Structure 1
Amino acid sequence: MNNGFLTVMGFTVRNKFRSKSFIVTSVILALLVIVGSNLPYIISKFQSGEASEIGMVAGDVAARLDQFYGSQEKAEVIVRQFPDQGSAAANEAAMKERISSGEIKGYLELGEMDTASGFPKVAYKSKATMDFGFTNKLQSGLQYVKNEDAAKGLPPATLQKLMAPVVIDNVQISTTDGGAGSVGKNGKSAEEVVIATGMVYILVIVLFMGVMITGQLIATEITAEKSSRVMEVLITSVSPLKQMFGKIVGMLIVGLSQILLIAGVAVINLTLPHNIDTLKDLNIDLGAIDPLLIVFAVIFYLLGYFLYSTLYAAVGSIVSRTEDLGQAVMPLTLFSLAGFYLAIFGLTTPNATYVVISSFIPFFSPFLMFMRIGLTDPAWWEVALSLAILCGTIFGLGWLSAKIYRTGVLMYGKRPTMKELRKAMKAYKV
């Protein structure tokens, strides 16, 4: 594979770089990354940042609730106390009027005493739809007041201990010696696990999109060349195998270039001053990203790409019309979708039996073994075995795809049956 291979590869790269679809797609993806990276900052500009004001009929519970929120470093709720109007109906009418005028967001209404909990039943009424986040904030304040009532008579020091929450540090440990991940004996903290999960989620999506898009492009281009009879001209100057692998490597360069462009845009935007502050507030340190995880991402991306791209090329070579291509590549699409969804669903249970077993199946291992490396700590032999099976499958399917491609590019008309294809393949050696 010398001049012919390089010629096909260079032509494929130049042709895609110059195409309007590639340029438009790259620009759209870059804009989406820019918006997504700056979305928290953009949302914050539309938020007032002020605490929400709610109303309550003046009383002991209202006063202590106001004291609880007032003692917070950054109060998220302000309790405004209003005089009792003499009846529940009058109080409700007065509160509704204050909501209508924009004076308060909503109001808390105390009902009958709940004998089981020893605290009145509480209802929060507002014009907004169910806001579970804000409801939880109200619940934490009311829980504090309720606990105070239950602990009356206790010394202040004991009450403080009783109210103090129990803090649990989640640490992921390794139970294997010499695991493939970076967990080691010290383990991963909760923050590191969150960062690793986010990285795995993003990279699994990138792998899936890269395999799907570039694979479809390879199959489409080959089928289009067959349907327009351009293939007959190309065959006379470049051998089928050089064509096939030239297109595959050329598309790989195109796909990696687009990924690097998007990654560069994301890094530039995430390192802007306002985004760095946001990440710090969320306790996210981009410096905690494990370089080994990036290395494995590149390895599994390349192997997954070559596994699927050779098959897409083979399928594209036996289809004579682009209209029939979608149906022909459907099995490959289903395989890649299955691997993607197994990895996404496995993010919460990376040690599940089905995840472990599927990580050794070559069509799924680029997604699942990479996910296991990022979130758990599989033994080195598990990673080595998965890579060995994957590489062996790529070699075997690559050889088979090369035979199919060499035979299929000159077979026109209806899609050949397996018997016809097998008979034609016997005439060629790869």
Structure 2
Amino acid sequence: MSKFWIVLSHTYMTRFKTKSFLITNIIALLVIVGLANINSIIDLFDSEKDRQVAVLDETGDIFAPLKESVENTASDVTLEQYEGTAEEAKQAVEEEEYEAFLSISYGEQNLPQASYYANQIASSELSNTLEQQLQQIKVAMATNNAGIDQSQLEEIYQPVAFEAVALKESAKTEEELSEARGLVYIILFLLYISVITYGNMIAMDIANEKTSRVMEILISSASPVSQMFAKILGIALLGLTQVGLFIVVGYIVLQQKQSEMTGGVFEYFGLSGVTASTFIYGIVFFVLGYLLYATLAAMLGSLVSRIEDVQQLMMPMIFLVMIAFFIAMFGLNMPESSFVTVTSYIPFFTPMLMFLRVGMLDIPAWEVALSIVIMLASIALLAALGARVYRGGVLMYGKASSLKDFKKALQLSKKS
């Protein structure tokens, strides 16, 4: 057992000390701090930037209401009535005296129309703002010309009263579904990224040891099976260290911004209504999903003796993760679909799809228990098969070009 812990600690510390791991974490932590202070960063660059728009109002009636509505909508936009000609205004824009130039005139049925001029129109934010506010003025003028009272117009455009009510008392409300959908999406995305990242890390670690011939020393001192599970758990601890670091830094940043929160961290992120059981299921399916795919990654990595061949043999696993993720994205809007229900019992899809159903629906406890049993059985079966393949695979050298190497690895495992 001591050899197991030696391999585990070696796997953990070797990866932890790599420059790529340290640089990646530093960048990720900077991103977390940056996202938490994104408003301050934007204000830092835009605090002194006031976008001025020259307006040539040929109607004589529209500039005043347009200026008021635009500046109420976008505080960094200032409309200035231009007294010169259109050509002079365009020249002023080219010389960057103004951000843009807006020419307003009357068109058909005596309703306003406009032309927008700017040096670059790739960014449509400013033009869209001006267009939307001008559209509101046009609607008001058109309804006034048609003799429609403003209060009647507001009643016409008022959204219809529509309430979705679940007949089952245990079913989630619309608000609870919205909160659960956010948590489910976060867990699905984390599982997707974690499986691909740490699965590749396991396979690369094994391939690297085979390339450097370290594997020949390891298998003489510890059993291949012990090595496989030591590497799986070592990378898992590395992932927990990484995630834990992100959580601690994120918590510290949020504590510093506590004045901007109205009801704590969970309410700040819209997760205050999510039940504790949903969080527990998220952790359970996350761990089971990692163990399943990590065992598969270790098995595939043992077939590779060159680092450049890792991605080729890892593609089947990556495709499985991608398929599960895409089905889950489809299922966010249709969690009760028969297709989602059936595929949620397929072991490689269960971590994402069953958690999706648990988070979004009120499903019987036996379904969740059955999916967990299926997952545990699949992990045990894959571990037994993976142990045999790993035992033979670590002795294989040369180019691994296809999954046919499984048979060769199994044959070698019987001889070792």
TM-score normalised over the length of structure 1: 0.78
Correspondence for 2:271 among 268, 284, 288: 288
Is 1:80 aligned with 2:114? no
Correspondence for 1:259 among 229, 232, 243: 243
Q: Residues 13-412 of structure 1 correspond to what in structure 2 (within 5 A)? A: 13-48=12-47, 50=50, 52-57=52-57, 59-69=60-70, 72=72, 75=75, 77-83=77-83, 91-100=85-94, 104-111=98-105, 113-115=107-109, 119-152=111-144, 158-160=149-151, 162-163=153-154, 166=158, 178=170, 184=172, 186-188=173-175, 193=178, 197-273=181-257, 277=260, 285-286=268-269, 288-289=271-272, 290=274, 291-344=276-329, 355-374=340-359, 376-377=360-361, 379-381=363-365, 382-412=367-397
Native 8 Å contact 2:111 2:142 kept in 1: no
CA distance in 1, matches of 2:278, 2:167: 19
Q: How many residues are aligned here?
A: 404
CA distance in 1, matches of 2:225, 2:34: 43
Cα gap change, 1:328 to 1:264, in 2 (>3 Å): same
Note the alpha carbon deviations across 1:328-369, whole angstroms, 9 max, x for none.
Answer: 222122222333344456556656665554433322332334
SS of the residue 1:12 aligns to: helix
Native 8 Å contact 1:176 1:378 kept in 2: no
Cα gap change, 1:128 to 1:228, in 2 (>3 Å): closer
Cα gap change, 1:292 to 1:138, in 2 (>3 Å): farther
SS of the residue 2:346 aligns to: coil
Deviation at 1:75, TM superposition (A): 5.0
Native 8 Å contact 2:261 2:268 kept in 1: no
Larger mean Cα displacement after TM superposition, 225-234 or 413-422 = 413-422
CA distance in 2, matches of 1:114, 1:348: 44
CA distance in 2, matches of 1:383, 1:107: 61
Deviation at 1:217, TM superposition (A): 2.2
Note the alpha carbon deviations across 1:24-53, whole angstroms, 9 max, x for none.
Answer: 332232223223332332112211375754
SS of the residue 1:360 aligns to: coil
SS of the residue 1:329 aligns to: helix
Kindly report structure 1 stretches of 4+ aligned residues shifted beyond 6 Å.
153-156, 168-173
Deviation at 1:202, TM superposition (A): 4.0
Percentage identity across aligned positions? 32
CA distance in 2, matches of 1:369, 1:392: 16
Native 8 Å contact 2:389 2:406 kept in 1: no
Gaps of 5+ in 1: 86-90
Cα gap change, 1:160 to 1:224, in 2 (>3 Å): same
SS of the residue 1:121 aligns to: strand
Note the alpha carbon deviations across 1:359-386, whole angstroms, 9 max, x for none.
Answer: 3332233233434545x32524554444
Note the alpha carbon deviations across 1:49-92, whole angstroms, 9 max, x for none.
Answer: 7575441325122233335446x487565443345x6xxxxx31
Native 8 Å contact 1:69 1:76 kept in 2: no
Native 8 Å contact 2:69 2:133 kept in 1: yes
Native 8 Å contact 2:303 2:390 kept in 1: yes
Question: What is the identity, as a one-letter code, of the residue corresponding to 1:19?
Answer: T
| Cα RMSD, aligned residues only | 3.8
CA distance in 1, matches of 2:304, 2:66: 72
TM-score normalised over the length of structure 2: 0.80
Note the alpha carbon deviations across 1:250-282, whole angstroms, 9 max, x for none.
Answer: 111111111111222233334433x864999xx
Question: What is the identity, as a one-letter code, of the residue corresponding to 1:95?
Answer: A
Cα gap change, 1:373 to 1:338, in 2 (>3 Å): same
Gaps of 5+ in 2: none
CA distance in 2, matches of 1:138, 1:73: 10
